[in-house]
Amino acid sequence: MASHLMWFRADLRVHDNLALAAACRSDDTEVLALFIAPLKQWQQHDMAPRQAAFLQSQLNALQQALAERGIPLLVKQVDDFTASIEVLREVCETHNVTSLFYNYQYEFNERQRDVAVEQALTDVTCQGFDDSVMLAPGSVMTGNHDMYKVFTPFKNAFLRRLGEDLPECVNPPKVRPAGALTGKLAPIELNYPQQSFDTTWFAADENSAQVRLRHFCQYDVASYDTQRDFPAVDGTSRLSASLALGALSPRQCLHALLKAHPDALEGKTGAVWLSELIWREFYRHLITYHPNLCKHRPFIDWTDNVQWNNDSAALTAWQQGKTGYPIVDAAMRQLNQTGWMHNRLRMIVASFLVKDLLIDWRQGERYFMSQLIDGDLAANNGGWQWAASTGTDAAPYFRIFNPTTQGERFDKQGVFIRQWLPELTDVPTTAIHTPWIWADKAQRTIDYPRPIVDHKLARNQTLAAYEAARKKN
């Protein structure tokens, strides 16, 4: 009997899954599901152990949800994408697969893999879908049919498209005619280093992600624009990890938002969070049209001339949260201990690494991926290139955050700082952003380093380095 094969990748859900819905369209065709874990490829791409644990949790929930609908999930573990192709060939032959369904991934290596799969499976019809975005790459272009290089006009065009025709969510597949699969399911265990994650902060499965989404849109999104920049406040959605692995779709986010706040498209309540979702789309569209972004290349060519500092001690201090700048250090310790960092803090620590320490942004990009539970190449690369002034629509290279004033502005009372830097518990609030000055005046000893760099001097050195690089072009 002929069968359809649904190949899951970064789309670990049964609701609003375009490829899965297409695979299940016919009631009289057997449907199988497959997930392939390319373990060495994940290591090469610096997948964080917490993200691996999160993925394993999502996979087990997906296996149960599929079984309830009569769809078995096969899980194979291989070395890399090349080995994945052979697994696909074997599964298709063994189960007489006539059609393969999958959702597109836009990263360069993944796109190359998919081309190779289509070439290898000569007797199988391959069908791909633009599932991880609200609007497909290529559907929001300039008047000259080019990809936008600046976010605001992209966003405006994107909103116009949404206003004309909202992308719909598709229903989950019904129970297959053969009925739900009975019997105890063997737990899925991935042979990849893992670190536990906090299930009170991160939705451990698709259903809890939907609950979190609805609650956020109904009760919290209205205050998002005023609270999202303050790390001591729980003012963000905490949905990025679910979006990164596809346990939640951006279309679900859009519809949940519009159900709670129908005027969000017109710039009313919810518009700021919607703008963040469009930033996510912007970066995904960009890597599709500029694949060099997936190859550690800057978008602005001349910035590759910057002479970076090769200072391993400074890099280690930044990674460990021991720079002597409290807001930077608290943020890095939050990342190291939870696998997540508040978005405002991501900008602050990225600016510090690149423009205070003059360390190559790619070092930071890679370290983030090795730690983040919500690691996503397009968004992570986009954020780092923005902070480093090397990317499209990036901050001008002469815009350099002052880490002390950033701390004073976004954690004025030092609540967040004290949460992650207990060694500063006794430092008065008036001195929490410059504890070394207080310690000297009070003749106190604190177990906290002095600043590893003088911001004013570092700023001048960075400006000179960027100006020299630009002149070389």
DSSP sequence for 268-332 = STTHHHHHHHHHHHHHHHHHHH-GGGGGT--SSGGGGG------HHHHHHHHHT-SS-HHHHHHH
Q: Which helix (H) or strand (E) holds 98?
A: strand 97-103
User: Rounded CA gap, 51 and 371, in Å?
Assistant: 8
Strand partners, 77: 37
Tens of pLDDT, residues 40-58: 999 999 999 999 999 999 9
At 374 the three-state DSSP class reads coil
* DSSP per-residue letters across 336-397: HHHS---HHHHHHHHHIIIIIS---HHHHHHHHHHH-TT--HHHHHHHHHHHHT-STTPPPT
Catalytic residue annotation: 276, 279, 308, 343, 361, 384
Between CA 420 and CA 327 the distance in angstroms is 9
Helix axes of 377-388 and 343-351: crossing angle, nearest 10 degrees: 50
Domains of the chain, CATH where assigned: 3-129 (3.40.50.620), 133-170+204-295 (1.25.40.80), 301-472 (1.10.579.10)
Binding residues: 224, 236-240, 273, 276-283, 374-376
Q: Which residues of the chain have pLDDT under 70?
A: none
374 by Cβ neighbours in 10 Å (0-12 / 13-18 / 19+) ranks as buried
Identify the pLDDT of residue 2.
79
Q: How far is CA 121 from the centre of its chain?
A: 31
pLDDT reported for residue 181: 87
Angle at CA 298, nearest 5°, toward 246 and 391?
Answer: 70
Segment (H or E) for 162: helix 151-164
Backbone angles phi, psi at 48, to 5 degrees: -70, 145
**Amino acid at site 65:** A
The total of other beta-carbon atoms located within 10 Å of residue 146's CB is: 9
Q: What are phi and psi of 253, to 5 degrees?
A: -60, -45
Reported as a single tens digit per residue, the pLDDT across 121-161 is 999 999 999 999 999 999 999 999 999 999 999 999 999 99
As a whole number of angstroms, the distance between CA 376 and CA 394 comes to: 18
Query: pTM to 2 decimals?
Result: 0.96
Give 395-423 pLDDT, tens digit per residue: 788 889 999 999 999 999 999 999 999 99
> What's the rounded Cα separation, in Å, for the pair 306 and 362?
13
pLDDT of residue 64: 97
For the annotated binding site for FAD, the residues are: 224, 236-240, 273, 276-283, 374-376
Please list the residues that pair with 31 across neighbouring strands.
Answer: 4
Tell me how long the chain is: 473
Distances (CA, A) of 56 to 49, 51, 71, 83, 395: 11, 8, 18, 20, 37
Residue partners of 405: CB distance under 8 A and separation at least 6 = none
